[in-house]
Chain A
């Protein structure tokens, strides 16, 4: 691989990632069309930092996460983790790398095996990490539970005995059990109560400080992202629309979609209602045909002829600030 494109500080670099899913119809289940779930997505995550990936539901965020974890094969592109292109290696070569990248899921109910106690779930990860012996496993499990703020009594309990926030903590402990360096958080707080959300966010932040973790933080809530992330990538229907350091993005948003997302964020000081309440998520299924030119023009407040002729390239609009809009 060309090492000059690699920044040594980047733990993960994704380039030109693509994925499309067939829409199967009819008796023979032939592909009647394709959903372009992820199109030419590129970003990189610095070691010990957090990249936020923001976009409405159905825009392809989870698909990106699953491809990075190699739970889903990518159609094209490169996923370079610690200098190794994950797309080109075999399952056997992937095995030791698996432990390095972990995931925390959105749904605290589906992410834990209902038939496995907390101790068994975490123990499985410890076994993968090479921890052997009953005592060592128990000690390490307790340590991990304490780290995520759970008491050791949780060990022989089953997931159904816990609340959503507690389950999320168990999921975090399981992810930590293999000592990863990158954790993908796929909307880890969007299924939780607002009061619990802050606890989990703070926990993630503390863990980052203590363990030097890097995060890919997926969310549809810019509020949370602004608090936790160092950089933000805004995604719309499979494409990254804007990509900038967090402060820059919040202070000088360039893409109309980012404006729309920001206007939907309630102002914490004033406690106002969101200025725009039109941000209902519209999954691509309801509008599978992409328009000619810029794909955001349907929702864009001021679109004109040039939007339809827009080539769709990501352009640099400032130092470290990229945007996919001709107006910028």
Chain B
């Protein structure tokens, strides 16, 4: 048989599967899952609200100013008109009506909710972004390099560098700097061709430094276990109480304390992916470890991460609201849903809208993300995919 001649005849004339992009397939399955679709719609609305909120409530002369205090108009119920006669010209709300009423200082709750939406959105996404990045990194290392042992030499180097950093932090400047410089010189030497680990047959006294101590996987996964032992809300509370309160601190702290689940998912996926033939094929081609991890394995491990990230956004929003409610969140006068709720709880009988409006918003958004996350899990599950 001459392949050159018969080439076009055999293949590709009838594709085995109907041509359908991943996105079309995704969309088809999503439309069948009405709860997930509802979640996505709410998410879209939330996103639009938050983005509109930034434009409407920030700047030097915002359209809707969340911080204008009008004491004569305090605790107005939702949909009440403002009394233009009693207000100074620049205090008059843009719409002439308080859509969500006013709080105990006469501030427009609608404007404050808009401002808070952006806080919730950014905290949710940035915190989850941080946690997913750390989770993928740790999970990938544990899954890919997990069976390798950390050498005694490396443990000693890490201890030495940590010691140097500790000295520096404790104020022993010169000694700390010397220790750190020596540590880096050592590091440089060990990765250079004369280093211990590069020698083909190191002398016996050197061999002790090459002894494996503990598996990489053990280190990372036991660390994950330890992190999971702390009730993370109280861990966050402690850290936030010590650090200056700001929205960035909260994002980072939530991100740093919620990556464990992602790391576990990614590790599990990597353990099964590394046995796959296409990874072996890439290795046989001479593709480097870095590219194998990020080009071959991570894209195939991303589905469960996406699910946990979506649900993670919900829990980050909830955590931020909780912190703000307790007064550890974003400092006033900046409004967040949590501190609107917190301010309103004193007037729960006189002005129930101050509690119910932010409460309902939090409930709706968190529910939407959870529903969408659950739907995503079903959609991305290949076993379910075959069925419909």
Residues of B near A166 (CB, < 8 A) are: 11-12, 16
Residues of B near A41 (CB, < 8 A) are: none
Which stretch (B39-47, B80-88, B256-264, B278-286) binds chain A? Answer: B278-286
Is the pair B285, A160 in contact by a Cβ cutoff of 8 Å?
Answer: no
Task: Report the minimal beta-carbon distance from A119 to chain B, rounded to whole angstroms.
Answer: 14
Is the pair A154, B285 in contact by a Cβ cutoff of 8 Å?
Answer: no
Sort chain B's interface into a size bin. Answer: 20 to 34
B 1-42 to A, binary, CB cutoff 8 A, 1 in contact else 0: 111101110111001110100100000000000000000000
Scoring B4, B16, B299 by chain A CB atoms within 10 A of each residue's CB, the highest score goes to B16
Is the pair B2, A178 in contact by a Cβ cutoff of 8 Å?
Answer: no
Task: Report the minimal beta-carbon distance from B212 to chain A, rounded to whole angstroms.
Answer: 15
Task: Report the minimal beta-carbon distance from B14 to chain A, rounded to whole angstroms.
Answer: 9
Is the pair A110, B15 in contact by a Cβ cutoff of 8 Å?
Answer: no
Is the pair A107, B12 in contact by a Cβ cutoff of 8 Å?
Answer: no
Query: B7 touches which one: A90, A99, A146 (CB < 8 A)?
Result: A146
Q: Which residue of A lies closest to B16 (CB)?
A: A163
Which stretch (A199-207, A224-232, A262-270) binds chain B? Answer: A199-207
Is the pair A112, B278 in contact by a Cβ cutoff of 8 Å?
Answer: yes
Is the pair B281, A103 in contact by a Cβ cutoff of 8 Å?
Answer: yes
Q: Is A151 an interface residue (CB 8 A)?
A: yes
Task: Report the minimal beta-carbon distance from A109 to chain B, rounded to whole angstroms.
Answer: 9
Residues of B near A71 (CB, < 8 A) are: 280, 283-284
Query: A149 touches which one: B10, B22, B200 (CB < 8 A)?
Result: B10
In the assembled complex, the Cα of A66 lies from the Cα of B283 at a distance in Å of: 11
Inter-chain CB contacts under 8 Å: number: 105
Is the pair A101, B284 in contact by a Cβ cutoff of 8 Å?
Answer: yes
Task: Report the minimal beta-carbon distance from B170 to chain A, rounded to whole angstroms.
Answer: 40
Q: Is A169 an interface residue (CB 8 A)?
A: yes
A 97-108 to B, binary, CB cutoff 8 A, 1 in contact else 0: 011011101110
Q: Is B287 an interface residue (CB 8 A)?
A: yes
Residues of A near B8 (CB, < 8 A) are: 151
B:102-142 near A, CB below 8 Å: none
Q: Is A314 an interface residue (CB 8 A)?
A: no
With contacts A98-B286, A110-B276 taken as known, whether A169 is within 8 angstroms of B281 at the C-beta atoms is: no
Query: B284 touches which one: A103, A113, A150, A161 (CB < 8 A)?
Result: A103
Task: Report the minimal beta-carbon distance from B1 to chain A, rounded to whole angstroms.
Answer: 4
Task: Report the minimal beta-carbon distance from B195 to chain A, rounded to whole angstroms.
Answer: 13
In the assembled complex, the Cα of A113 lies from the Cα of B291 at a distance in Å of: 13
Q: Is B277 an interface residue (CB 8 A)?
A: yes
Q: Is B300 an interface residue (CB 8 A)?
A: yes
Is the pair A115, B11 in contact by a Cβ cutoff of 8 Å?
Answer: no
Q: Which residue of B lies closest to A106 (CB)?
A: B277
Q: Is B296 an interface residue (CB 8 A)?
A: yes
Task: Report the minimal beta-carbon distance from A151 to chain B, rounded to whole angstroms.
Answer: 5
Is the pair A98, B285 in contact by a Cβ cutoff of 8 Å?
Answer: yes
Q: Which residue of B lies closest to A114 (CB)?
A: B300
Is the pair A95, B280 in contact by a Cβ cutoff of 8 Å?
Answer: no
Is the pair B4, A146 in contact by a Cβ cutoff of 8 Å?
Answer: yes
Residues of A near B287 (CB, < 8 A) are: 124, 128
In the assembled complex, the Cα of A69 lies from the Cα of B283 at a distance in Å of: 9
Is the pair B12, A153 in contact by a Cβ cutoff of 8 Å?
Answer: yes
Query: B296 touches which one: A113, A158, A161 (CB < 8 A)?
Result: A113
B 158-191 to A, binary, CB cutoff 8 A, 1 in contact else 0: 0000000000000000000000000000000000
In the assembled complex, the Cα of A260 lies from the Cα of B300 at a distance in Å of: 43
Is the pair A174, B285 in contact by a Cβ cutoff of 8 Å?
Answer: yes
Q: Is A34 an interface residue (CB 8 A)?
A: no
Is the pair A148, B3 in contact by a Cβ cutoff of 8 Å?
Answer: yes
Is the pair A110, B278 in contact by a Cβ cutoff of 8 Å?
Answer: yes
Is the pair A149, B16 in contact by a Cβ cutoff of 8 Å?
Answer: no
In the assembled complex, the Cα of A146 lies from the Cα of B7 at a distance in Å of: 6
Query: B16 touches which one: A90, A162, A171 (CB < 8 A)?
Result: A162
Q: Which residue of B lies closest to A198 (CB)?
A: B1
Q: Which residue of B lies closest to A108 (CB)?
A: B277
Closest 3 CB pairs of A and B: A98-B286, A111-B277, A163-B16
Residue positions of A touching B, CB distance < 8 A = 66, 69, 71, 90, 95, 98-99, 101-103, 105-107, 110-116, 124-125, 128, 146-151, 153-154, 157-158, 160-163, 165-166, 169, 171, 174-175, 177-178, 199, 202-203, 206-207
A sample of 20 inter-chain contacts (CB < 8 A) reads: A71-B283, A71-B284, A99-B285, A105-B277, A110-B278, A111-B281, A124-B285, A124-B287, A128-B285, A146-B4, A149-B6, A149-B7, A149-B11, A151-B11, A154-B11, A158-B22, A160-B17, A178-B285, A203-B1, A206-B3
